[in-house]
Chain A
Amino acid sequence: MCSFSVAWLEGLRYAGKQGQWSWVAHRVSGLLTVAFVTTHVLDSTLITFFPKLYKKTIQLFKHPLAAVIEIPLVGAVLYHAVNGLRIAVMDFRPAWWRHQRRSSQVVQVVFALLYVPMALKMGSGVLAGLRGKRS
């Protein structure tokens, strides 16, 4: 056992391989996913209680800045989902531990395949929006 701060500092310096970094990424994306989900739970609550406020919030979400935040958030949710599947598979098929390094790479590739087009689409939407405003 050691103090929390030492654990973090020294822990992050530990030269773990894909497994460790997938885990760090999973944790971070998990936190972001929580943020993502919480916001949506909150804003959808607004519909029933404060419909006006809800409309304002939605307007806010349409702001380009919000979209810029949304892109990485979607990425986090996506990574968390794909990597979560990997972990579940590992838990059900311990014998596949042999492929653990490759499995992390597969997750990265699948994530990239899904996320890059998505992000591009979202990004271009934002750009289009911006351009539309200017003209």
Chain B
Amino acid sequence: MNVQLGIQRFNPENDAKPYWQSFLITQVDPAERVLDLLKYVKAHVDGTLTFRHSCAHGVCGSDAMRINNLNRLACKTLVQALARPNTERVPIRVQPLLGLPVVKDLVVDMDPFYEHYRSIIPFLVNEQEAPGRERLQSPEERAIIDDGTKCILCACCTTSCPSFWANGRYVGPAAIVQAHRFIFDSRDTGAAERLAVLDRKTGVWRCRTVFNCTEACPRDIDVTRLIGEVKLAIAQGPRRAGRVR
């Protein structure tokens, strides 16, 4: 299999604006990851190509990028998934995530994204004295927050959201998912504070149920559902919303 790999390049040190560069890579195993191709180019063709990556199996969240116009992790996207039937050459186009400033090539400045994450009080709030052993939590209570705890903060969701593209002050799906994980944790007492943050103009109400986030999530989190539950929690109080499932 051959791959025509187009990469959007931009190094502010030298370039006035982004441009596309294309590499023909031959003899590609269909089961290779897009990340493997990028690593190959960097190691053997052009060492200036710059992208983040680490774990190479979809758990660290470093290599979120836009591949053939969809946000995904390069390490979880196999070439065969991008191939069209009966074509010799697989066209692959790789771009940085939309909505965050580009630092260089495929690397974006994640600070605004982390800023939103920090704004939702992303830690357990419980000032009561802890018991000697673990706090008890039933498997059912634990199941409510399960989905949100899978989030690796890769930013695939937030940077696929039209509301975020239009207004970067929107906290975005990832931050809401992280908030959900605490709001509905039976051990947490900080829900009211978090809901207040998310009830602001930059909060959940900017979500227009477009579902791009849910489709983009490489961890298969039902992002829009979690956002919906937070909306309900604001409207009806956290307790009721927890049961609407």
Chain A residues with a Cβ under 8 A of chain B: 1-2, 4, 6-7, 10-11, 13-20, 22-23, 26, 87, 90-95, 97-98, 100-101
Within 8 A of A (CB), among B99-123: 99-101, 112
B225 adjacent to A94 (CB under 8 Å): yes
A100 in contact with B211 given A2-B165, A16-B160 (CB within 8 Å) = yes
- Do the beta carbons of B98 and A10 come within 8 Å of each other? yes
Contacts of B225 in A (CB 8 A): 94-95, 97
- State which residues 167-207 of B face A: CB under 8 Å: 167-169
In the bound complex, residues from chain A placing their C-beta under 8 Å from that of B54 are: none
A7 cross-chain contacts in B, Cβ below 8 A: 98-99, 165-166
- Which residue of B212, B215, B232 contacts A94 across the interface (Cβ within 8 Å)? B232
Say what secondary structure dominates the interface of chain A: helix
A-B contact pairs, 5 of them (CB 8 A): A4-B166, A14-B66, A16-B211, A23-B209, A87-B209
Q: Which residues of A contact B226 (CB under 8 A)?
A: 94
CB within 8 Å of A: which of B37-90? Answer: 66, 68-70
Considering only CB atoms and an 8 Å cut-off, how many residues of chain B contact the other chain?
35
Complex Cα spacing A104 to B26, Å: 40
| Chain B residues with CB below 8 A from A26, complex form | 208
Q: A110 to B69, alpha carbons, bound, how many Å?
A: 30
The reply on B222 being an interface residue by CB < 8 A is: yes
B215 close to A91 (CB less than 8 A) = no
Contact in complex: B209, A15 (CB < 8 Å): no
Which B residues are closer than 8 A to A by beta carbons?
66, 68-70, 95, 98-101, 112, 160, 162, 165-169, 208-212, 214-215, 222, 224-229, 231-232, 244-245
Nearest B residue to A23 by beta-carbon distance?
A: B210
- B contacts with A: majority SS: mixed
* Chain A residues near B209 (CB-CB < 8 A): 19, 23, 87, 90-91, 100
Cβ contact within 8 Å between B211 and A92: no
Residue numbers in B under 8 Å from A91 (CB-CB): 209, 228, 231-232
Give the Cβ gap from A13 to chain B, nearest Cβ, in Å.
6
Contacts of A97 in B (CB 8 A): 211, 214, 222, 224-225, 228
Chain B residues closer than 8 Å to A98, beta-carbon distance: 222
Task: Give every chain A residue within 8 A of B229 (Cβ-Cβ).
Answer: 94
3 smallest A-B Cβ distances: which pairs? A94-B228, A1-B168, A19-B211
Residue pair B168, A15 in contact (C-beta under 8 Å): no
* Residues of A with C-beta under 8 A to B215: 16-17, 19
